[in-house]
Amino acid sequence: MNSGLRKLVRTGHIVFTVGWLGAVAGFFALAVTGLNSRDVQTVRAVYFAMKLITWSVILPFSFIPLLLTGPLLSLGTPWGLFRHYWIITKLVINILSVLVLVLHLQPINYLARAATESTLSSADHSLQLQMVIASGAALGAILAATALAVYKPRGVTPYGWRKQYEERASSQT
């Protein structure tokens, strides 16, 4: 990957990752408000906004770094996709985050529908709490993945060792 293309992909990766982080932070704030507010109109607006932000921002912004820009950066740079443990760890964190998000789409839609059609019942309290916990965990996971990308802790996988050995051997001939 040439320098210009690599910078373009890296910029896209950063933009979508920061957008994902910001949207999840907003979702978390809405989830906390929805759980604690006693104002019916506020609760209705919160759960409608949570559904909107999930489908319009969080979902697409979570898939782009995972399926497009992340693999392109890994494969188009010397870091490689499976050479370093920090990249594999970041990939696992992002895959798990997206899976948890997909599992929570139905409860998010249910809360939005219930809030707009009527008032939420006390039975919905556990789902409301689940949204706070899940979004808080997602926020922590995205921050951890970001920290890994910045600090790049040492640790080369067996595949990475083999690739380094092959590159050294080919450069010495």
d(CA 83, CA 65): 19
Across the range 22-44, mean pLDDT stands at 96
Tokens standing for residue 158 = 């067996």
Cα 110 to chain centroid distance, Å, stands at: 22
Q: Quick one: pLDDT at residue 171?
A: 84
Question: Residue 37 gets which letter from DSSP?
Answer: -
The mean predicted confidence, pLDDT, of the chain is 93
**How do residues 91-104 score in pLDDT, each as one tens digit?**
999 999 999 999 99
- Give the domain range for residue 168: 3-172
Across the range 37-65, mean pLDDT stands at 95
Number of structural domains in the chain: 1
**How do residues 66-83 score in pLDDT, each as one tens digit?**
999 999 998 888 888 899
Burial class (CB in 10 A: 0-12, 13-18, 19+), 169: exposed
Q: Quick one: pLDDT at residue 172?
A: 83
**How do residues 112-138 score in pLDDT, each as one tens digit?**
999 988 878 877 999 999 999 999 999
Q: Can you give the pTM of this predicted structure? A: 0.90
